[in-house]
Amino acid sequence: MRQAQVERRTKETLVRAAINLDGSGTYKVATGIGFLDHMLEQLSRHSLIDIAIEAKGDLHIDYHHTTEDTGIVIGEAVAQALGERAGIRRYGDALVPMDETLTRVALDCSNRPYLVWKVAFSRPKLGEMDTELFKEWFQAFAQSAGITLHVENLYGENNHHIVESCYKGLARALRQAIEIDPRRADAVPSTKGVLGGSL
């Protein structure tokens, strides 16, 4: 079973998460940040990864630590659940339209973390959340999950649509990449025989 549970405890946050990569997209999300909850619910539903996450953080200061640490914990859980990454398709991509917005996401579950983020916002906040924090979440997730992740908003005007298309794009691309390939179910998808390290 490709499942994992991770807890991260610091002086700033306490985050607990449990995931099932072979789930049905059920979720139970409570971070204390309404908009982030909404995005993580989208991530679960469209990736078919079951996600249960609870975070308690220093929200009286700002949302930075809680946002970043949820990305770290979910990423660590994905990495643990993938194990040696044998049998996975490894690559995934998605083009996600949302009204006037179109976003492209491509990723490689390479165990070589890297983020390319080409997303711009016209407003500093969505609700009470700083829009600059979305890059922090994606960076933390990619780093902890061991994923090369490219996120590019091709065009769009509504900031809510832009962010949501990024999370839905991640979900759809991740769903492809972590799927077991029945033709290579026991093999690590690399000529090296292992994922990670140098090219």
pLDDT by residue (tens digit) across 2-49?
A: 999 999 999 999 999 999 999 999 999 999 999 999 999 999 999 999
What are the domain boundaries of the chain? 3-184
What's the pLDDT score for residue 199? Answer: 43
From CA 86, how far away is CA 49, in angstroms rounded?
Answer: 18
**So what's the architecture of 3-184 in CATH?**
2-Layer Sandwich (3.30)
From CA 54, how far away is CA 5, in angstroms rounded?
Answer: 12
Which tokens go with 73? 């914990």
CA neighbor of 68 nearest in space, from 6, 123, 144: 144
Question: With bands split at pLDDT 50, 70 and 90, how would you rate the model's confidence at 183?
Answer: confident
pLDDT by residue (tens digit) across 101-114?
A: 999 999 999 999 99
pLDDT at residue 129 is higher than 70? yes
Does the pTM surpass 0.85? The reply is: yes
What mean pLDDT value characterizes the chain? 94
CA neighbor of 79 nearest in space, from 21, 138, 27, 31: 21
Question: With bands split at pLDDT 50, 70 and 90, how would you rate the model's confidence at 127?
Answer: confident
What's the pLDDT score for residue 189? Answer: 58
What's the pLDDT score for residue 187? Answer: 64
